Amino acid sequence: MYNLNQFIVDTPSRCHRLSCGDSLFTVYNCRLDDKFADLWSHINYIIYVAEGRKIWHTAHGSYDLQAGSCVFIRRGAAIVEQFLDTEFCFYLFFVSDEFICEVLKTKSTALHVSEKKYHPVIPIESSDAVHSFFKSMLPYFNAIDAPDQSLLKLKFSELILTLADNKANEELLCYFCMLLHAPQSVSLKAVMEDNFCFNLKMEDFAKLSYRSLSAFKRDFVQVYNTSPGKWLMNKRLDHARQLLTITGKSVRDTAFESGFESASHFSRAFRKQFGFSPSSLKRELNILS
């Protein structure tokens, strides 16, 4: 998996971008060679689709993004399905939890409290205010000289306040409320439950949870009473067994969607855990059906 934020930072020639501190705003046109791309980001990002279509697949569901779609994607991993016959053009806005809290604390009216559960990908109402905001960014991208950093920060703040001021963004407001009450980060548990089925390194999980690797391992044992490696293996195998049983997916697809590096590694681990191979489980299910 590759880090989307780091990829854009490291390849400036691939996109037209404007940056301000740790937040990065960019217009990005890209046709990748693979139909499926595994990516993650240690910083939240907002996507507004101007043209084309992609599907973000997460552990909690899939999100079909087409022209006019706007979503807030919490830091974490996803599998992106691409449609290579069309160009995909979108505005991409990286924003940290800390910046969101900083902006929300300047809000003159109280944030609307919501109890709605939030997911890794949070839909945003495509209001006139949202459309107008992204259109207002075009002159800055087309300018010969980059805008002043203070002006960019104001534009970033404007977007957060615009989203926070719309009560229809109930799921996003729930996430914002959580940040204000727990500004250190989403809990370690949430990071693991949202991302266990992706082939992330232990260092990546640590970065997602805003911890050093040693602190991540120490805190993980305190929360789960086992090591991250053992927990991940058991969680992924249970998820894989459910996929094979309920969805009827192939062994190869199941391995891929459960975070394993290869089908052979998955089959060995599955047999060791359950005493039979994933292929034999599929044959048994086919006979019963």
Query: What is the band of 289 on the pLDDT scale with cuts at 50, 70, 90?
Result: very low
In the structure, what pLDDT confidence band is assigned to residue 183 with cuts at 50, 70 and 90? Answer: very low
pLDDT value for 85: 79
Regarding the domain delimited by 2-181, which CATH topology (the fold level of the hierarchy) does it fall under? Answer: Jelly Rolls (2.60.120)
| pLDDT value for 169 | 95
In the 8-state DSSP scheme, what is residue 50? E
> Is the entire prediction scored with pTM above 0.85?
yes
Whether the per-residue pLDDT at 3 is higher than 70: the answer is yes
Within the chain, all domains assigned CATH 2.60.120.280 are found at 2-181
Among the ranges given (9-23, 123-137, 216-230), the one the predictor scored with the smallest mean pLDDT: 9-23
Per residue in 20-79, pLDDT (tens digit) is 877 777 877 765 566 778 899 999 999 999 889 999 999 888 999 999 999 999 999 999
| Phi and psi at residue 45, to the nearest 5° | -145, 150
Rounded to whole angstroms, how far apart are CA atoms 80 and 62? 9
Cα separation values, 188 from 34, 37, 61, 138, 183, Å: 32, 25, 21, 38, 13
pLDDT at 34: 66
Q: What is the mean pLDDT of residues 136-151?
A: 89
Q: Between these two residues, 33 and 190, which has the higher pLDDT value? A: 190
Region 4-17 average pLDDT: 83
**What is the band of 287 on the pLDDT scale with cuts at 50, 70, 90?**
low
Which pLDDT score, from 0 to 100, does residue 15 have?
Answer: 78
**Closest-CA residue to 138 (of 32, 50, 38, 259):** 50
**pLDDT, position 82:** 86
Give CATH 1.10.10.60 domain extents, the chain. 185-289
pLDDT grade, residue 171 (50/70/90)?
A: very high
- Check residues 180 and 47 and name the one with the higher pLDDT: 47
List the CATH code of the domain at 185-289: 1.10.10.60
For residue range 87-109, list pLDDT tens digits in order: 888 899 999 988 999 999 999 99
